[in-house]
Amino acid sequence: MNSLIRWAVLSILLVTYHISHADAQTAKIVYLGGCQKGYASEYYTNYHHELLASVVGSLDLAKELLIYSYANYINGFAALLTDEHAYELTKNPAVTSVFENTGHELHTTESWSFLGLEDSEGDGPPGSLWNETKLGADVIIGSLDSGVWPESQSYNDHGIGPIPAKWKGTCTSGTAFNATNCNRKLIGARFFIKGYEAKNGPLNETLTGDFLSPRDKDGHGTHTSSTAGGRFVKHASWFGFASGTAKGGAPSSRIAAYKVCWPKNATSGSGQCHDADILAALDQAIADGVDLVTISLGSKVPLRNFFGNGIAIGAFHAVENGIPVVCSAGNDGPAQGTVSNVAPWVLTAAASSIDRTFLSKVTLGNNATYIGQSLSRDKLPNKYFPLVSSADVGNSIASLNESTLCTPGSLDPTKVAGKIVACLRGGPGRVSKGHTVKLAGGIGMILVNSPAYGNELIADRHVLPASQLTAQDGAAVFAYINSTSSPIALLGAAATTLNVKPAPVMAYFSSKGPNSLTPDILKPDITGPGLNILAAYPEVAFPTGLAFETSVVKFNMLSGTSMSCPHLAGVIALLKALHPDWSPAAIKSAIMTTASVLDNTGTPITDAFQKIASPFNYGAGHVNPVKAADPGLVYDASLIDYLLFLCGLNYTQMQLQTIAGTFVCPTILPTASDLNYPSIAISNLTATRTITRTVTNVGDIKSTYIATIESPPGISVSVYPPLLKFSKKGQKKTFQITFTANSLPSSGYLFGQLVWQDDHRHVVRSPFAVRIA
Ligand SMILES: *[C@@H]1O[C@H](CO)[C@@H](O)[C@H](O)[C@H]1NC(C)=O
Ligand SMILES: *[C@@H]1O[C@H](CO)[C@@H](O)[C@H](O)[C@H]1NC(C)=O
Ligand SMILES: *[C@@H]1O[C@H](CO)[C@@H](O)[C@H](O)[C@H]1NC(C)=O
Ligand SMILES: *[C@@H]1O[C@H](CO)[C@@H](O)[C@H](O)[C@H]1NC(C)=O
Ligand SMILES: *[C@@H]1O[C@H](CO)[C@@H](O)[C@H](O)[C@H]1NC(C)=O
Ligand SMILES: *[C@@H]1O[C@H](CO)[C@@H](O)[C@H](O)[C@H]1NC(C)=O
Ligand SMILES: *[C@@H]1O[C@H](CO)[C@@H](O)[C@H](O)[C@H]1NC(C)=O
Ligand SMILES: *[C@@H]1O[C@H](CO)[C@@H](O)[C@H](O)[C@H]1NC(C)=O
Ligand SMILES: *[C@@H]1O[C@H](CO)[C@@H](O)[C@H](O)[C@H]1NC(C)=O
């Protein structure tokens, strides 16, 4: 049935239903655990029809109401259900959970957004590792996102070998897309929209410009998948900035795009990427044979529990099948407790800067100079121009607040013409402020961070010569304007600058710990590059999203944890190529325990406020791919470990048995802190607490590791035994780490680290975060 007819039918059903019942139908997901091996998917689909019929009354009606049947690896279905029917289903012991088909958002900061509010916005090549892994050859990266622009050179397949024999995926045809768009590089492309349409009605391709096919209109999906696995493309640049060779983390890997994200619909208020579609995509991706999955989307706090979240459930089954999953942490920083995608079976990526930036110099009439950032293509003549504060040049209808923030239409052209205008950051989008200045006749803009934004500089593609300054530098600019009757400034052209120090610096927007759902699992796990990242882009999406901007680009610069997530996916692909036998937990451990907490000046990584960053910013630290290839020891975890973790939370024996058959929770329930995780969190330390960890030797056959601990004042920490001797590869050793509170309850968390070291070659570092109750 095509979607229009399907919708007509559903609408009629909905209408009749409304007449006879007060209770409205909405799309809900009925999660039934995992599929057992040896059963055909038809078996499960029939079962889903019958189960649904048992509450809605007839098999025919059940078939009409069913949206998806998940029947490969994930067992469950999505259907239009009243709350009453949903409730009846939850009483069935076969049902793990029932939850609304909710939308998640893409995790790019809308650095190019014109009208968006700031609040809602959000490589070095590893050298020898690339050689050893043959650039990640034959590893298949599954990307759940907004689709793919197959013509991009990042997906060219020149010189790439045949498609791996194990691949069972396909290229689905649709609008402006068919199987000929796939090749030996882009080996799969599918789209999933029924969950989205259940919320928003049929996709109107004319209205939205999107494609009912795997083709990417938004740009996000093309950007993220090419970041993870794009090929070398020479002479890539963005209007001349950042020119060089564009490439992904694993340039010889294969890419499979699963389009689950669609245009935002302001009316419905629903997100872009829906649980029902995400589950369908993950169930399919596992069956297709992907080697890892990258997901740059998520939801905001308050977080739904693990069995009420399509990403968490789908990722669980991927990991169960040996497929690592990396997710973005979200762009809701710098507030604490904002991190999303917190399931312990996924790797959660925060975002930080790289050592490349786009500088533009501001010189004031008093000769003071400040270095700001900009990606503006326009330059002013190399001379001084009059400078005004926007607060002083508002028009008669604008409030002082509005002119201070350069809101649209707030400036008086007679006071602005021919001048450089200093606007305060906040409220309207950064690029929008420049547009306001330009419309009023201004010739340049200095965008000043308000104190809340600290030194977070984002190089924007401004529509006029412009430079963004830190709060501190900006205050000096305002003071200078006040100090003289005829302030002037010289605005230098923006230029790409390399080897910037310090780097990395944590991104202002990167979501932070503690983990609001399970505070005894430290999140995020890791940080990677996520500021001003250049990668492939569809040739339809306007880079700034500005109505008057008509440029089409092959590469675009974006910022967000959406960008750091596929960097981590590229690293996972390389590790998969090098160590095909490592579990998802082992790969994650290797990445975490080898991460760096120092920047390129050799001092601790800082945040956007020049303060020393903590594990709540970056988890274990900044990813180091070369070291991750040889971590020495790993903290491994199996399905059983995750089930034990779930036993210790609110999940019932019955729920867990739907996933794992005969599994029985122990009588003494483990705590989340006891999961064999590469980092440690104790949210509620009273007196003394001992937790257990097990490490597996993946390094030299014979080695001796010695523990060292750095603990903050207020707690003492000890390890037993303090020395671990390994005589063969694969050998496991268990140790205990005891935390003792010796100070009064702390309002915040205290941080420290445990390090296992062998002859200075392997350094296995675990951060910990402890709060004294
Ligand atoms: C790895 O290095 C060897 C020796 O220098 C070279 O022959 C080979 O082409 C390199 N392989 C890749 C994939 O770079
Ligand atoms: C697939 O698309 C290409 C160009 O986009 C077109 O030339 C070709 O005819 C299409 N094939 C089919 C089977 O529709
Ligand atoms: C947005 O969703 C509503 C349903 O909530 C639907 O009626 C409307 O057509 C949708 N708009 C677009 C542009 O898709
Ligand atoms: C899709 O949007 C276009 C443009 O707004 C409109 O003319 C058309 O009627 C819409 N189609 C449907 C099926 O709603
Ligand atoms: C456990 O249940 C409590 C109370 O119902 C709830 O607030 C909490 O979010 C649940 N925790 C998890 C991890 O699901
Ligand atoms: C700024 O520097 C120039 C050239 O070095 C000099 O001529 C001028 O007097 C200086 N102005 C101030 C206010 O210091
Ligand atoms: C101006 O902004 C300040 C601080 O954000 C706020 O307290 C005040 O209410 C605003 N005034 C107007 C008129 O919007
Ligand atoms: C500049 O002057 C304005 C108004 O006189 C005042 O509100 C503002 O605080 C001053 N700014 C600085 C940085 O001195
Ligand atoms: C922390 O532990 C104390 C004592 O064991 C307990 O009363 C309290 O509820 C706990 N708080 C949390 C947030 O778990």
pLDDT digits (tens, 9 = 90+) for 364-404: 999 999 999 998 888 999 999 999 999 999 999 999 999 99
134-143, 268-277, 456-465, range with greatest mean pLDDT: 268-277
Instruction: Give me the residues paired with residue 552 across strands.
Output: none
Q: Average pLDDT, stretch 4-21? A: 38
Ligand 4 close to Cβ of residue 652 (< 6 A): no
Q: Would you list the DSSP string of 499-539?
A: S-SS--BB-TTS---S-SS-TTS----EEEE-SSEEEE--S
Reported as a pLDDT band with limits 50, 70 and 90, residue 242 is low
Q: What is the pLDDT of residue 548?
A: 43
- Ligand 3 pocket by C-beta < 6 Å: which residues? 200-201, 204, 207, 265, 267-268
Task: Report the pLDDT value the prediction gives residue 34, as an integer from 0 to 100.
Answer: 93
Measure the CA–CA gap between 311 and 325, rounded to whole angstroms: 10
Residues 419-436, mean pLDDT to the nearest whole number: 92
Name which of 276, 332, 266, 279 is nearest 301 in CA terms.
332
With a cut of 70, say whether residue 615 has pLDDT above it: yes
Encoded tokens for 59: 């098999």
Q: Which two tokens stand for residue 439?
A: 């419309």
User: In which band, very low, low, confident or very high, does the pLDDT at 109 lie, cut at 50, 70 and 90?
Assistant: low
What is the percentage of the chain residues whose pLDDT exceeds 70?
Answer: 89
User: Which residue from 400, 401, 402, 403 has its CB within 8 A of the most atoms of ligand 7, so it is best to mutate?
Assistant: 401
Q: Which residue has the higher pLDDT, 609 or 525?
A: 525
| Ligand 6 lined by 367 (C-beta under 6 Å) | yes
Q: Which helix (H) or strand (E) holds 317?
A: helix 310-320
Q: Which residues line ligand 1 (CB under 6 A)?
A: 131, 134-135
Q: In this structure, what are the phi and psi dihedrals at residue 298, rounded to the nearest 5 degrees?
A: 175, -175
Span 299-354, pLDDT tens digits: 999 999 999 999 999 999 999 999 999 999 999 999 999 999 999 999 999 999 98
- Measured between alpha carbons, how far is 3 from 194 in angstroms, rounded to an integer? 9
Instruction: Report how far residue 727's alpha carbon sits from residue 723's, in angstroms, rounded to the nearest whole number.
Output: 13
Range with the lowest mean pLDDT among 119-123, 356-360, 466-470, 750-754? 119-123
Ligand nearest to the CA of 14: 3
Question: Residue 719: CB partners within 8 Å, gap ≥ 6?
Answer: 707, 709, 735, 736, 737, 738, 754
Pick 79 or 110 by higher pLDDT: 79
pLDDT at 119: 30
Q: What is the pLDDT of residues 245-269, one digit of tens each?
A: 555 667 789 999 999 999 988 888 7
Lowest mean pLDDT among 76-90, 478-492, 525-539: 525-539
Position 5 pLDDT exceeds 70: no
The number of the ligand 8 atom at minimal distance from the alpha carbon of 482 is 1
Active-site residue flag, 355: no
> 3-state secondary structure string, 626-655?
HHHCCCCEECCCCHHHHHHHHHHCCCCHHH
Give the pLDDT of residue 289: 98
Mean pLDDT of 491-504: 89
Q: 701 pLDDT band (50/70/90 cuts)?
A: confident
Q: Which ligand is nearest to the CA of 683?
A: 9
* Selected residue with higher pLDDT from 137 and 227: 227
pLDDT attached to residue 128: 56
Calculate mean pLDDT across residues 232-242: 59
> Is the confidence at residue 715, as pLDDT, over 70?
yes
pLDDT at 7: 39
pLDDT at 598 over 70: yes
Quote the pTM value. 0.87
pLDDT at site 3? 41
**How far, in Å, is the centroid of ligand 4 from the Cα of 203?**
10
Contact 351, 559 (CB under 8 A): yes
DSSP state for residue 409 in the 8-state scheme? T
Mean of per-residue pLDDT scores for the chain: 89
* Strand order from edge to edge, sheet including 97-100: 66-70, 74-81, 26-34, 97-100
Nearest to 154 by CA among 241, 240, 219, 239: 219
Per residue in 116-127, pLDDT (tens digit) is 223 322 232 334
Over residues 164-174, the pLDDT tens digits come to 999 999 999 99
684 Cα nearest atom in ligand 9: 1
130 pLDDT tier (thresholds 50, 70, 90): low
Contact 662, 671 (CB under 8 A): no
**What is 22-59 written as a DSSP string?**
SSPPEEEEEEEEEPPTT--HHHHHHHHHHHHHHHHS-H
pLDDT in tens, 161-202: 999 999 999 999 999 999 999 999 999 999 999 999 999 999
- pLDDT at residue number 233: 63
Q: Is 48 a catalytic residue?
A: no
- 556's CB contacts (< 8 A; 6+ apart) are 112, 219, 223, 238, 534, 535, 536, 537, 541, 543
- Report CA(478)–ligand 8 centroid distance (Å): 7
User: Tokens at residue 182, please?
Assistant: 């796939």
Q: Compute the distance between CA of residue 724 and CA of residue 237 in angstroms, rounded to an integer.
A: 50
Q: Which of 123, 145, 283, 641 is catalytic?
A: 145
With contact defined as beta carbons under 8 Å apart, do 715 and 754 qualify? no
Report, as an integer, the average pLDDT of 63-83: 97
Average pLDDT over residues 723-748: 92
Token pair for 162: 């045949």
Q: Quick one: pLDDT at residue 21?
A: 46
> Looking at 562, 589, 614, 683, which residue is catalytic?
562
Give the per-residue SS3 of 561-590: HHHHHHHHHHHHHHHHHHCCCCCHHHHHHH
Pairing of strands 723-726, 703-710: antiparallel
What pLDDT is attached to residue 110?
Answer: 43
562 classed as catalytic:
yes
* Range 503-526 average pLDDT: 96
Give the separation between CA 347 and CA 188, rounded to whole angstroms.
Answer: 24
DSSP secondary structure letters along 699-717? S-SSEEEEEEEE--TTEEE
Which pLDDT score, from 0 to 100, does residue 240 have? Answer: 60
Instruction: Choose one of 265, 270, 272, 274 to mutate for the ligand 3 pocket test, by most ligand atoms within 8 angstroms of C-beta.
Output: 265
pLDDT of residue 457: 84
> Exposed e or buried b for every residue in 113-126, given b needs 16+ CB within 10 A?
bbebebeebbbeeb
